[in-house]
C-alpha cells in the first residue's frame, strides 16, 4: 500500500490491502493457500525460521498467506496491530482467558455478558483455580469496587448480550487502566464499525487492550462460517495469546478464511443495512400492544442509550451506528405458551442462534438463570431477541404483525 494509507476511509482500506499476488498473476483477490507442511530449502533454514512472527512460514497451523492477509485486514477493521485467528468466537474468548490468567487470579465478567463466556469462566477457569467475579456493567462504581490485587483481567461487552444495555465503556476502561488491569472487549456487536475499540476517546489516549470478534457474525455475513479473532496493539500481550494459540493448536481452515476475506469488503454496507432495518422494526415493535419494552441501544429510553450516543452516536457518523439486533419484553399477562406460539408463528424469522447473516432470526430467552442479580431497568415479562437479516423491512414487519395477531389474539 502507498503512504496515503492512514488518510483513507476504513471502507477503502479493507478493499485495498498489502496483498502481493504470485509473480505474473496480478489478480486482486487473495489466493486460498492450503497446507499443513511447508517445505524448507535446508535444515539450516528450518532451524532459523521463526513461527512467532510473520517473517516466514513454518507450518500450516501457524499461518499461511491466506490467514496472514485476513489477520491484516481485521487489524485494519478494528485498529489493531496483531491478530490471531481461532475456530470460533467462543474459542477467541477462551484463548484470551487461558493465555492471561493463572491459578489464584481473578477475572471480572459483566453479569450481562455473552452466556458461554460466563459459564466457561465459572466452570473451566474455576478448575484451574481462577475465580470469576460478576459485575454490573451499567455501574462503573460496582466494577471499581470489585477489583482486588488478584484481578488480572476484566471482560467488557458493549452492549450486553440479549438485553443490549450499553455501558459507559470509556469509564470502565479508565478504571481498569488506573488499576493496571488488562481489559478484553467482546467486540462482536460493534464489529469495528460502531466504534473504535482501541481509540475510545478519539485522540488515541484510551482503548481496550484486547478485542475479540466472533467473525461468525458480520465479517462472515453468510451464516456459513465459524471463526474468531483476537486483536491487540501490545506485542507482549499478543505473544502470550499467540503462545497459547500455538499450544492448543487453534488453526482455521483456508476455505473459511477465504469466505471471510470475500465478505469483508461489504461489511460496512451490510452493517448499515442491518442497522437501518433493525431500528425501523424496533421502533414499530415499541408501538405494539403486547410489547412493554424495546431494548435497542440507539432508541431513546433504552438502557445505556446516552452511552451509546456518546460512543457510536450521530456525532460520529450521521445516524450513528448499531448492529441489527434488538430485543423486546412481552407483557407478562401473556403466557410463555403465547410467546412461544408467537415465535413459532413467524414465517420469515427463523428460530435459531447466532446473527449477522442474511436471514432474520428469533430466540425467546428466560432471563431467570441468566442474570445473577435483579435488573431493575428491565420491565417484567418475557424477552424475545431478534436478529434482523437483509430481507425487505416491510415483509419482516408484516410477518411480525401476523404472528402477534395470532399468538396474542389481537383484533
Ligand atoms: C456469537 C457470539 C460469540 C461466539 O461466537 P461463535 O463463533 O458462535 O463461537 C461471542 N460473543 C458474542 C457477543 C457473540 O454474539
Q: Give the distance, in angstroms, between the CA of residue 377 and the centroid of all CA atoms in the same chain.
A: 24
pTM: 0.95
Q: CB–CB of 11/268 below 8 Å?
A: yes
- The span from the CA of 344 to the CA of 38, in Å, is 51
Write the residue with the smallest CA distance to atom 3 of ligand 1: 89
Residue 192: CB atoms within 10 Å = 27
Residue 160 Cβ < 6 Å to ligand 1? no
Q: Which atom of ligand 1 is nearest to the CA of 90?
A: 9
What pLDDT shows up at residue 11?
Answer: 86
Alpha helices (H) in 102-226, listed in sequence order: 115-120, 126-127, 140-146, 169-179
Instruction: Give the H or E element holding residue 84.
Output: strand 82-86
- Nearest to residue 211, comparing CAs of 195, 238, 232? 232
- Nearest to residue 385, comparing CAs of 164, 226, 215, 111? 164
Residue 89 Cβ < 6 Å to ligand 1? yes
Cα of 156 to ligand 1 centre, how many Å? 14
What pLDDT shows up at residue 317?
Answer: 53
Could you tell me the three cell numbers for 35?
497446507
Residues 6+ apart with CB under 8 A from 94: 120, 124
Residue 214 Cβ < 6 Å to ligand 1? yes
Write the residue with the smallest CA distance to atom 6 of ligand 1: 89
- The span from the CA of 226 to the CA of 217, in Å, is 8
Bridge partner list, 131: 106
DSSP secondary structure string for all residues of 233-249: S-HHHHHHHHHHHHHHT
How does pLDDT run across 337-366, given as a tens digit for each residue? Answer: 999 999 999 999 999 999 999 999 999 999
- The span from the CA of 118 to the CA of 123, in Å, is 9
Give all domains of the chain, ordered by start, each with its CATH number: 43-265 (3.40.640.10), 267-407 (3.90.1150.10)
**Degrees to nearest 5, angle at CA 57 with 51 and 60:** 90
Could you tell me the three cell numbers for 386?
431478534
- The span from the CA of 112 to the CA of 158, in Å, is 10
What pLDDT shows up at residue 6?
Answer: 61
Collect the ranges in the chain with pLDDT lower than 70. Answer: 1-6, 314-317, 411
Residue 188 Cβ < 6 Å to ligand 1? yes
Task: Report DSSP state, residue 292.
Answer: E
Residue 192 Cβ < 6 Å to ligand 1? no
What pLDDT shows up at residue 9?
Answer: 86
Write the residue with the smallest CA distance to atom 5 of ligand 1: 89
Write the residue with the smallest CA distance to atom 15 of ligand 1: 188
Q: CB–CB of 108/143 below 8 Å?
A: yes
Q: Beginning with the edge strand found earlier in the chain, give each strand of the sheet holding 361-365 in spatial order.
A: 291-295, 325-330, 382-387, 361-365, 350-351
What pLDDT shows up at residue 264?
Answer: 96
Q: CB–CB of 321/268 below 8 Å?
A: no
Q: Which atom of ligand 1 is nearest to the CA of 354?
A: 1
Write the residue with the smallest CA distance to atom 8 of ligand 1: 89
What pLDDT shows up at residue 3?
Answer: 44
Cα of 1 to ligand 1 centre, how many Å? 32
- The span from the CA of 267 to the CA of 262, in Å, is 10
Q: Which atom of ligand 1 is nearest to the CA of 93?
A: 10
What pLDDT shows up at residue 316?
Answer: 52
SS3 (DSSP) at 8: coil
Question: Does a cis peptide bond (omega within 30 degrees of 0) precede residue 308?
Answer: no
Cα of 410 to ligand 1 centre, how many Å? 36
Residue 228 Cβ < 6 Å to ligand 1? yes
Residue 329 Cβ < 6 Å to ligand 1? no
DSSP secondary structure string for all residues of 343-391: HHH-SSSEE-S--SSSS-EEEEE--BTTBSS--TTSPSSEEEEEE--SS
- The span from the CA of 189 to the CA of 377, in Å, is 21
Cα of 115 to ligand 1 centre, how many Å? 9
265's torsion region: left (phi>0), alpha (psi -120 to 50) or beta?
alpha
Residues 6+ apart with CB under 8 A from 181: 108, 147, 151, 152, 153, 154
For every residue of 192-257, which 3-state class applies, written as one string? CCCCCCCCCCCCCCCCCCEEEEECCCCCCCCCCCCCEEEEECCHHHHHHHHHHHHHHCCCCCHHHH
Cα of 162 to ligand 1 centre, how many Å? 12
Amino acid at each position: 500500500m502507498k503512504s496515503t494509507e492512514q488518510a483513507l476511509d476504513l471502507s477503502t482500506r479493507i478493499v485495498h490491502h498489502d496483498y502481493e499476488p504470485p509473480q505474473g498473476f496480478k489478480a486482486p483477490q487473495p489466493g486460498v493457500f492450503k497446507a499443513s507442511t511447508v517445505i524448507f530449502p535446508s535444515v539450516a533454514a528450518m532451524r532459523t525460521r521463526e513461527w512467532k512472527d510473520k517473517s516466514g512460514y513454518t507450518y500450516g497451523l501457524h499461518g499461511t498467506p491466506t490467514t496472514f492477509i485476513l489477520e491484516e485486514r481485521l487489524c485494519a477493521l478494528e485498529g489493531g496491530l496483531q491478530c490471531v485467528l481461532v475456530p470460533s468466537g467462543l474459542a477467541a474468548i477462551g484463548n484470551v482467558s487461558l493465555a492471561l490468567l493463572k491459578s489464584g487470579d481473578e477475572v471480572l465478567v459483566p453479569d450481562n455478558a455473552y452466556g458461554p463466556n460466563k459459564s466457561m469462566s465459572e466452570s473451566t477457569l474455576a478448575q484451574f483455580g481462577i475465580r470469576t467475579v460478576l459485575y454490573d456493567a451499567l455501574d462503573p462504581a460496582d466494577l471499581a469496587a470489585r477489583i482486588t490485587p488478584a484481578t488480572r483481567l476484566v471482560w467488557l461487552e458493549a452492549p450486553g448480550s440479549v438485553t443490549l444495555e450499553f455501558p459507559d465503556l470509556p469509564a470502565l476502561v479508565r478504571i481498569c487502566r488506573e488499576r493496571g488491569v488488562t481489559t478484553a472487549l467482546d467486540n462482536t456487536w460493534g464489529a469495528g464499525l460502531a466504534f473504535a475499540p482501541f481509540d475510545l476517546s478519539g485522540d488515541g489516549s484510551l482503548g481496550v487492550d484486547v478485542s475479540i470478534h466472533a467473525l461468525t457474525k458480520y465479517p462472515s455475513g453468510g451464516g456459513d462460517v465459524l471463526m474468531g479473532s483476537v486483536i491487540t496493539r501490545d506485542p507482549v500481550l499478543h505473544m502470550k495469546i499467540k503462545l497459547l494459540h500455538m499450544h492448543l493448536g487453534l488453526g482455521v481452515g483456508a476455505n473459511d478464511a477465504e469466505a471471510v476475506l470475500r465478505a469483508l469488503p461489504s461489511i460496512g454496507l451490510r452493517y448499515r443495512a442491518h442497522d437501518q432495518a433493525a431500528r425501523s422494526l424496533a421502533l414499530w415493535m415499541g408501538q405494539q400492544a403486547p410489547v412493554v419494552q424495546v431494548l435497542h441501544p440507539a432508541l431513546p429510553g433504552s438502557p445505556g442509550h446516552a452511552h451509546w450516543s456518546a460512543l457510536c452516536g450521530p456525532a460520529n457518523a450521521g445516524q450513528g451506528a448499531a448492529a441489527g439486533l434488538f430485543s423486546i419484553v412481552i407483557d407478562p399477562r401473556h403466557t410463555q405458551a403465547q410467546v412461544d406460539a408467537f415465535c413459532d408463528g413467524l414465517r420469515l424469522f427463523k428460530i435459531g442462534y447466532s446473527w449477522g447473516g442474511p436471514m432474520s432470526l428469533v430466540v425467546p430467552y428466560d432471563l431467570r438463570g441468566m442474570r445473577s442479580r435483579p435488573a431493575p431497568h428491565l420491565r417484567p415479562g418475557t424477552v424475545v431477541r431478534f436478529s434482523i437479516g437483509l430481507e425487505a423491512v416491510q415483509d419482516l414487519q408484516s410477518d411480525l404483525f401476523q404472528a402477534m395477531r395470532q399468538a396474542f389474539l389481537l383484533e
